[in-house]
Structure 1
Amino acid sequence: MTHSRLNSRIRASQLPIAVLLGTNEIASAVAVSLTGLGYAVILCHDPFPPVMRRAMSFHDALFDDRAVVDGVAGKHAETPSEIAAVFSTPGQVVVTSLHLTDIIALHPIKILVDARMQKHRVTPDFRGIADVTIGLGPQFTVDINCDIAVETRPAKNGTVVRSGRTDAPDGVARALGGVGAERFVYSDRDGRWHTALEIGTRIFKGVVLGHLDGQPVPASLDGVLRGLVRDSTLVPAGVKLLEIDPRGANAKWTGTDERGRDIAKATLTAIRLRALRPAIKDVGAGVYYI
């Protein structure tokens, strides 16, 4: 199918396009909400940081595995015809390795949300690529590299930022079952990660959960695997390999969580706020409103 035919298929369905950068649980929670509002949603994979909470996200659809979040299904698509096929069925989102530039060439974008959660990397200016560009988390400054932003730091999670910049990361992990950073295991080196375990597995402190660059990686505490980087993933040093939920019978590792839903709700609020505010852009010697 040509790009023009894809354009026609999407226009015929009257679905506005929303692109999410990232396939993690935050991007997926936002994707679920946007799908509920009638957007055709495309999630673009970025390898950094590796996705850990895979059962709470659409990430595994990238490998043609089942990926369902709160009743919405993620489907892998890499070509115009595959993307059109996904959108022909309600309640589905596209998960792709295509780059943003590839998507722009296919169809105009209504909403662009950077949900990659790249806390320490410089973020490019995405303004003008879509009608509304939204940054989630650190490294965003309104009217510099996004139109509007949303805080993701625990103390301000879900706060819409209409001017200025989002908070820098503070390195403090949100407590879960009374446990903070101790529930995460980080990579101590670059290497290939291997594990035979599945998310949702009951594990115990000291048990080897996988190997990074051939070195064993033990569990930091008792609990249930809430997050686990996919087997055979190449990871850099200093990223989260896994997360352990210490809450016992109350452990949860599938579907959206409260944090993700709050961020998704704030993202929808940001879209509405931006729609109510005329944006002024320079055009030669004059200005125009959009």
Structure 2
Amino acid sequence: MQNLVVLIKGAGEMASAVAHRLYRCGFQIIMTELEKPSMVRRKVSFGNCIFEGSWQVEDVESKRAGNLKEIREALARRKIPVVIDEKCKISQILNPDIVVDAILAKKNIGTTIKDAQIVIGLGPGFEAGKDVHAVIETMRGHDLGRVIIKGTAQKNTGTPGPIQGITDDRVLRAPRAGVVKNILDIGSLVKKGDIIGSVTDQPVFAKVDGVLRGLIHDGLTVIAGQKIGDIDPRGQIDYCNTISDKGRTISGGVLEAILFLLNDAST
């Protein structure tokens, strides 16, 4: 596994769960991100190193890398390099063995089955056998994490998965277009009606009691209705700093798909 390079497109929550598992299994991991990523669960996203320079998720460290030399230095130090590369042009230089599209855009925005020996897509927008070699189901429920070798994942419903029966109300959305100003931080305990922050002076209120599990970076520009935060009604502060059950399940599906496709190619 140490000789296999995995390029992961995206460095948000689910991409980071995948990166963490594959890293611990011995793969060399490289990730790409936007210049100003709007990931919500920043505490468990390797892409937070874009803002901080470096970032740890469960004892695995990522490092912002600006060029090929810095990528190689990070890999040599057993860190995960994260490159600002919206169109994933670095792939043409690195020639990775495996590409995982973990952007979760709900559509394919440029990944092809020819990008690597093994190409995997997370969630809807990909067709296994056409766009990618395998698709991983990301919809909560019975099939979460299932490896799809032929066909597609379930369509996006637009409704977040329930936690203690709560769906939409646990998600914080921008009330208007503008610039985000955070008052509270991830890990804060909140009550329904508390002000979390604002978007260009229009307040954002908590709709449920719980812990602020995710919040996009202060100062980012957002559009009206964009997801900017997440409240966990279970109120467990330590959940803010660890990979979720959904992330672990999806990452397990990615590992299974890689091993299955490697074995299939060798027979």
1:191, 1:212 within 8 Å by CA — same for their partners in 2? Answer: yes
The answer to whether structure 1 residue 264 and structure 2 residue 267 are counterparts is: no
Shift of 1:23: 1.3
CA contact (8 A) 1:46 1:116 kept: no
2:264 corresponding residue in structure 1: 277
- More deviation, 143-152/168-177: 168-177
Q: Counterparts in 2 of 1:1-290, with a 5 A limit?
A: 15-46=3-34, 50-90=38-78, 92-119=79-106, 121-155=107-141, 156-249=143-236, 252-278=239-265
Which runs of 4 or more aligned residues in structure 1 lie more than 4 Å from their structure 2 counterparts after TM superposition?
A: none
1:123–1:145 Cα contact (<8 Å) kept: no
- The TM-score, its normalising length taken from structure 2, stands at 0.91
1:75 partner amino acid: K
Quick one: which amino acid aligns to residue 38 of structure 1? G
Which of the two has higher C-alpha Rg?
1
Partners of 1:93 and 1:104 lie apart in 2 by 16
| CA–CA separation in structure 1 for the residues paired with 2:123 and 2:242 | 21
On the 8 A contact 1:133/1:147 being kept in 2, the answer is: yes
Aligned length: 266
C-alpha distance in structure 1 between counterparts of 2:92 and 2:258, whole Å:
23
Question: Counterpart amino acid of 1:149?
Answer: V
User: What CA RMSD, in Å, does the superposition of the two structures yield over aligned residues?
Assistant: 2.3
Could you state the TM-score of these two structures normalised by the residue count of structure 1? 0.84
**Structure 1 CA distance, aligned partners of 2:50 and 2:111?**
26
Comparing 206-215 with 263-272, greater Cα deviation is found at: 206-215
Structure 2: which amino acid aligns with 1:107?
A: L
Q: In structure 2, the residue corresponding to 1:209 is in which secondary structure? A: strand
Q: Measure the CA separation in 1 of the matches of 2:251 and 2:113.
A: 20
Check the 8 A contact 1:189/1:238 in 2, yes or no.
Answer: yes
Please give the per-residue CA displacement for 1:174-233, whole angstroms capped at 9, x wherever unaligned. 222332221111124332212132110112221211111331111112211101011011
For structure 2, list consecutive stretches of 5 or more residues without a partner in the other structure.
none
Amino acid at match of 1:152: T
Q: Distance in 2 between matches of 1:14 and 1:242?
A: 36
1:10-58 CA-partner distances (Å, limit 9, x unpaired): xxx9632211111111000100111112222111114798200111111
Q: How far does the alpha carbon of each residue in 1:65-91 deviate from its partner, in whole angstroms, 9 at most, with x for none?
A: 55211211111111112111111112x
Q: Distance in 2 between matches of 1:267 and 1:213?
A: 39
* 2:152 aligned counterpart, secondary structure: coil
The answer for unaligned runs of 5 or more in structure 1 is 1-12, 279-288
Contact map agreement 1:74 1:94 (CA 8 A) in 2: yes
> Residue 49 of structure 1 contacts residue 239 of structure 1 at CA under 8 Å; is this kept in 2?
no
- Does the 8 Å CA contact 1:53/1:227 hold for their aligned counterparts? yes
Percent identity (aligned): 30
Task: Work out the CA distance in 2 between the residues paired with 1:47 and 1:179.
Answer: 32
TM-superposed CA distance for 1:104, in Å, is 2.1
Query: How far is the alpha carbon of 1:250 from its aligned partner?
Result: 6.6
